[in-house]
Amino acid sequence: MRLEPECIGCLFNQILRAFKMIKPDIASDVVISAQKKLMEFLTNVDINKTSAPIVGKFAYNLVAETLSLEDPYQHLKDEYNQLALELYDEVKAIVDSAKDPLFEAIAVAALGNTIDFAAQHQMDLIGDIKNFSLQSLKINDYNEFKKSLELINRNKGQLLILADNCGEIVFDKLLVETIKSLYPSLDIIVAVRSKPIINDATLKDAESIGLTDIVKVIESCPVPGIDLPSATEEFKKYFHEKNGIILSKGQGNFECLFGMPMSNKEVYYLLKAKCVLMERIFKVSIGDLIFKKKNSNF
């Protein structure tokens, strides 16, 4: 997806929010200096061939360089993962006892992206999971996804999960465990970022929560989305595998895959609409949960 008008102002605000979150007392001139560098970057790129996550990489690298921190969000990522791990056993019990464990695990994976773990809304997550239904998904292609899994399992194919943020990756682990138990012939691979970027999960995070103990985890790209030119060779191999499905989590991954020709395999998007651009594209409201099969328009 190329840059859209809604993205430009949002990117400048993201820089401001990032600085305020990491260093609340930062001087205004430092923030403005970084925003000016972003402005210069935008004037020199082909906006018709550049997606918001690619610009996001530049913007958040600016934040890291300004603060002289390789991973400015590391402490928050650790906190999110720990809080999610504290809920893991209780959430797993809900999934395992559900009438449809696969749907329940999908629900958990979707809700994992919606909860503000920093605010420790633990009971909200449990309550939301228990009250989740098919109607909770504003766009719901779950039945199509289930059929795709069954077919690929029979063909001993591949499921590539494009992971998103820390915290929710703990519930991605539960989704992986559930799918493995239901579809044992399926080859599951989880892709995380190849370098720290915002609060997205990296291999270090996957190792810390035990995800690497149960499934193959590979590194994808150093951007908050999917950028094939900068992707690892290992990721490209699995991404272009013909006999498979891609489950793309989060908005950044969607923005990069949107409009990308993908005739070699099926792609499913699982995300929360977090901005007015998603409202416009999906014709939903901010906050709505989406489970959408990619087609020629998406």
pLDDT tens digits, one per residue of 175-205 = 999 999 999 999 999 999 999 998 899 999 9
- Percent with pLDDT over 90 in the chain: 62
Contact present, 163 and 249 (Cβ < 8 Å)? yes
pLDDT at 270 over 60: yes
- Phi first, then psi, for residue 138 (nearest 5°) are -65, -40
Examine residue 298 and state whether it is found in any structural domain, yes or no.
no
Q: Which residues pair with 244 in a beta bridge?
A: 158
pLDDT band at residue 117, thresholds of 50, 70 and 90? very low
| Each residue's pLDDT tens digit, 75-85 | 989 988 998 89
| Each residue's pLDDT tens digit, 39-58 | 999 999 887 788 888 888 99
For residues 129 and 112, what is the distance between their CA atoms, to the nearest angstrom? 10
Letter string b/e over residues 116-151, b meaning 16 or more CB atoms within 10 A of that residue's CB: ebeeeeeeebeebbeebeeeebbbbbbeebbebbee
Whose CA is closest to 246, among 233, 234, 257?
A: 257
Tokens, residue 224: 């908050």
Examine residue 273 and state whether it is found in any structural domain, yes or no.
yes
Whose CA is closest to 246, among 270, 276, 210, 229?
A: 270
Contact present, 244 and 152 (Cβ < 8 Å)? yes
**Which of 67, 86, 111 is the last residue before a domain boundary?**
67
Examine residue 235 and state whether it is found in any structural domain, yes or no.
yes
**Which of 67, 82, 106 is the last residue before a domain boundary?**
67
Place of tokens 């020629």: 296
- The per-residue pLDDT for 98 is 93
CATH of the domain at 87: 3.40.50.10880
For residues 224 and 59, what is the distance between their CA atoms, to the nearest angstrom? 11
Its pTM stands at: 0.92
Q: Same domain for 222 and 184? A: yes
Quote the number of domains for the chain: 2
User: How large is the average pLDDT for residues 262-281?
Assistant: 88
- The CA–CA distances, whole Å, from 233 to 25, 157, 236, 271 equal 41, 20, 5, 26
Mean pLDDT computed over every residue of the chain: 89
- The CA–CA distances, whole Å, from 48 to 1, 45, 261, 284, 287 equal 9, 9, 17, 25, 28
Place of tokens 């190849």: 194
Q: Same domain for 248 and 209? A: yes
Letter string b/e over residues 36-73, b meaning 16 or more CB atoms within 10 A of that residue's CB: ebbeeebeeeeeeebbbbbbbbbbbebbbebbeeebbb
Q: What residues make up the domain containing 36?
A: 5-67
- The per-residue pLDDT for 243 is 82
For residues 2 and 112, what is the distance between their CA atoms, to the nearest angstrom? 27
Q: Same domain for 26 and 46? A: yes
Q: Same domain for 172 and 195? A: yes
Residue type, 241: E
pLDDT band at residue 226, thresholds of 50, 70 and 90? very high
**Which of 67, 91, 117 is the last residue before a domain boundary?**
67
CA angle 78–80–84, rounded 5-degree value: 115
